[in-house]
């Protein structure tokens, strides 16, 4: 007879944290969100630690090299999506690892024979007011000049005016030679009162820009996640089909940590992939596995050699696995059970294997609940897809800005490897949807806001670190009526933008 669980599986929305005693030391600025990413033995330090407990999902619509750099600046980690050719994924990893903090590849370039109209169109698309003029119009072309908003006046110039007629020519530019340090470049910016400093090689080819605004930005990012060589850290996804070719390419490209991307991780396919990594690289290559939702799944992947274990089936906002296949578990219940199994494993073996909660986060306070329930870090898809730095298009629909967001199990992504159960190389049916999410602006602003909420809640609980939160948190189950009580109710909400009222 089938096994039946006595308790229903629950979501984060069904729980609240109960405040604890807060001393005068419980202030937001004193809270540490450092957390381990990969397993370690008792008394030792983990090989990889993040400064914030957030990673981006292994999805086409979320994690490319641009978002990876932005998230690493905040102290988190991206896992570059695997549903692409090996070569392009490896190149994205290289782009992150070779990105020099403060040194920016030019992505707004134009030829001298183009026009002011072309400059304005490029500015409209990119939002950049500094445009490099190169002989071939590419980011690595031979630089011949520079155009900024100070070089033209729309009221006095025709849109047909050639760029060569109003650009600041190379002879009038102050440039730095390739090999200059960031500190030296910043000194040149300030000494010459520049907003942008082109960095060129011996053949006068443009290699980077250093911007004054990025100097200020670097100072604002004390949590940057850097490796020993001061490069940004980045993860990458892999699958259980072409791992023998993909993993070596990702390791060669410099990926700091890998993760098997699968909708269901309690399988022999995952063990085969982990066995390959251990046989070829030993413990030098770090790789997580998943997804699982119970004790048995965790223990299986722990014994198979996973460096961290990912939790969650069917809880993502674009995931329809539960309604398509009737399989999964409420995310809160899954995290609670797997965290207990993780702690038991640690007591038995002395090896701590971090767990990652993947899915089910709707509100910012769910982040704090997931951490309190035992998650070491959180994987987010919808959350990051809303930002400027995600790889999807920003559109206006019905007067509102949105960004595209689609699941790896959708027909758009066609990531059949993620749902592979052997057999034909195809996606038999959809387990994800193609959708839109409200556009939310810059990653930095949103991440800082969300994590300030997490830190504030931790202070309410009287703790200053994630391990303390997991040890000291008091969590209560709430009723449906209590959930209603927790929001605005029995008042008329004023909608200032539309000058209308909504009753709640």
pLDDT reading at 365 higher than 80:
yes
Q: Which residue has the higher pLDDT, 432 or 268?
A: 268
At 333 the pLDDT is 97
Residues whose CB falls within 8 Å of the CB of residue 480, separated by 6 or more in sequence, listed in order: none
Choose between 184 and 494: higher pLDDT.
184
Lowest mean pLDDT among 157-166, 330-339, 416-425: 416-425
Q: Minimal CA–CA distance to 261: which of 99, 56, 10? A: 56
Buried b / exposed e over 317-347, threshold 16 CB at 10 Å, is bbbbbeeeeeebbbbbbbbbbbbebbeebbe
Scored b (16 or more CB within 10 A) or e, 219-235 reads eeeebebeeeeebbbbb
41-55, 190-204, 285-299, 421-435: segment of lowest average pLDDT: 421-435
Which residues belong to the active site? 319, 418
Query: 474 forms bridges with which residues in the sheet?
Result: 18
pLDDT for 429 equals 47
pLDDT > 80? residue 28: yes
Distances from the Cα of 423 to the Cαs of 113, 239, 269, in angstroms? 55, 15, 13
Distance linking the first and last C-alpha atoms of the chain? 47
Phi, psi angles (nearest 5°) of residue 183:
-65, -45
More confident: 399 or 234: 234
Give alpha helix (H) positions in 254-357. Answer: 268-281, 295-304, 321-325, 331-349
Measured CA to CA, the distance from residue 138 to residue 163 in angstroms comes to 15
Mean pLDDT of the 111-127 span: 89
> What pLDDT is attached to residue 217?
60
- Is 278 within 8 Å of 286 (Cβ atoms)? no
CA 221 to centroid of chain Cα atoms: 16
Taking alpha carbons only, the member of 166, 160, 103, 169 closest to residue 135 is 169
Alpha-carbon Rg for the chain, nearest whole angstrom, is 25
88: its two tokens: 């392009």
196: part of which helix (H) or strand (E)? strand 196-200
pLDDT band for position 416 (50/70/90)? Answer: very low
Q: Which helix (H) or strand (E) holds 211?
A: strand 206-211
Question: How do residues 469-483 score in pLDDT, each as one tens digit?
Answer: 999 999 999 988 777
| Angle subtended at Cα 341 by Cα 447 and Cα 302, rounded to the nearest 5 degrees | 85
Q: Residues 133, 139: contact at Cβ < 8 Å?
A: no
Work out the average pLDDT over 364-389.
97
Q: How confident is the model at residue 257 (pLDDT cuts 50, 70, 90)?
A: very high
Residues 6+ apart with CB under 8 A from 307: 37, 38, 39, 257, 286, 287, 288, 353, 354
User: What are the phi and psi torsion angles at 259 (to 5°)?
Assistant: -150, 130
State the pTM of this model: 0.78
Q: What number of other Cβ atoms are within 10 A of residue 74's Cβ?
A: 20
Residue whose tokens read 């990531």 = 415
Q: Of the spans 167-176, 185-194, 465-474, which averages the highest pLDDT?
A: 465-474
User: What whole-number percentage of the chain has pLDDT above 70?
Assistant: 89
Q: How far apart are CA 6 and CA 13, in angstroms?
A: 20
Predicted pLDDT at 164: 94
Distance CA 150, CA 480 (A): 59
């Amino acid at each position: 007879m089938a096994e039946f669980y006595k308790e229903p599986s629950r979501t984060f929305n069904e729980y609240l944290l109960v405040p604890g005693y807060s001393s005068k030391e419980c202030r937001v600025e004193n809270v540490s969100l450092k957390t381990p990413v990969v397993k370690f033995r008792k008394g030792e330090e983990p090989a990889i630690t993040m400064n914030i407990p957030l990673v981006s999902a292994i999805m086409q619509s979320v994690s490319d090299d641009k978002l990876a750099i932005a998230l690493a600046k905040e102290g988190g980690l991206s896992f570059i999506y695997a549903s692409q050719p090996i070569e392009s994924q490896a190149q994205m990893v290289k782009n992150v690892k070779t990105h020099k903090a403060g040194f920016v590849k030019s992505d707004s370039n134009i030829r001298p024979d183009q026009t002011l109209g072309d400059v304005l169109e490029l500015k409209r698309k990119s939002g950049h007011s500094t445009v490099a003029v190169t002989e071939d119009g590419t980011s690595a072309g031979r630089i011949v000049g520079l155009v900024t908003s100070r070089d033209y006046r729309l009221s006095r110039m025709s849109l047909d005016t050639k760029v060569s007629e109003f650009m600041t020519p190379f002879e009038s530019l102050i440039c730095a030679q390739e090999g200059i340090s960031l500190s030296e470049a910043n000194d040149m910016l300030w000494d010459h009162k520049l907003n942008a400093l082109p960095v060129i090689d011996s053949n006068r080819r443009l290699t980077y820009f250093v911007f004054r605004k990025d100097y200020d930005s670097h100072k604002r990012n004390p949590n940057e996640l850097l490796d020993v060589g001061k490069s940004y850290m980045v993860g990458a996804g892999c699958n259980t089909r072409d791992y023998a070719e993909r993993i070596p390419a990702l390791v060669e490209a410099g990926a700091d940590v890998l993760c098997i991307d699968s909708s269901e991780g309690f399988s022999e396919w995952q063990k085969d992939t982990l066995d390959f990594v251990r046989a070829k690289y030993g413990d030098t290559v770090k790789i997580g596995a998943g997804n699982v939702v119970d004790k048995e799944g965790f223990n299986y992947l722990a014994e198979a050699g996973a460096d961290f274990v990912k939790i969650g089936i069917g809880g993502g906002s674009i995931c329809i696995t539960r309604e398509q296949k009737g399989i999964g578990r409420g995310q809160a219940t899954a995290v609670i059970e797997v965290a207990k199994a993780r702690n038991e494993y640690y007591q038995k073996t002395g090896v701590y294997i971090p767990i990652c909660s993947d899915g089910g986060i709707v509100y910012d306070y769910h982040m704090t609940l997931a951490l309190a329930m035992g998650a070491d870090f959180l994987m987010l898809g919808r959350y990051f897809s809303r930002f400027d730095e995600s790889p999807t298009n920003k559109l206006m629909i019905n007067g509102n800005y949105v960004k595209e967001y689609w699941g790896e199990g959708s027909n758009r992504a066609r990531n059949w490897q993620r749902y592979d159960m052997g057999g034909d190389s195809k996606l038999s049916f959809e387990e994800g949807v193609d959708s839109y999410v409200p556009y939310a602006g810059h990653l930095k602003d949103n991440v800082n806001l969300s994590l300030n909420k997490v830190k504030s809640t931790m202070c309410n609980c009287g703790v200053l670190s994630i391990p303390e939160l997991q040890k000291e948190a008091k969590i209560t189950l709430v009723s449906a009526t209590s959930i209603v009580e927790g929001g605005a109710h029995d008042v008329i909400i004023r909608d200032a933008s539309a000058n209308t009222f909504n009753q709640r």
